[in-house]
Structure 1
């Protein structure tokens, strides 16, 4: 059986419900896929046997050279730049 708990809004109790379900079942694989605050481990207290660093590219704009043309926003592969 696969159970997914999802919502687009934060603070709705998704982690609380998911942890409660996980603790009430016997064999569970729990994946906390929250990209901003994956914190189910706080409640489940798993034994961490391996960690791996993650690098996130962050755009850096040289404001002295920026003409606000918007080219950087058009070519950014991550859609991380907005010219306003």
Structure 2
């Protein structure tokens, strides 16, 4: 599965700005996520677009499928 497009949407809510991302894949799977960093919406948005070339669903650091990232985090940070 390859990511074919990433769209970002900066939304102002008065007291806080939010950054949402819509991700599309070549298999027709899509999803929406939120990546807000208070006060740095444009910076965060630029970072999302800058990293598009890593969009092959692999964890850049470990070469493992991203879908297993939660399992790896739990194994590293929670007691056995």
RCO comparison, higher one (Cα < 8 Å, 6+): 2
| TM-score for the superposition, normalised by structure 2 | 0.21
Larger Rg computed on CA atoms:
1
Alignment TM-score, normalising by the size of structure 1: 0.21
More helix by share: 2
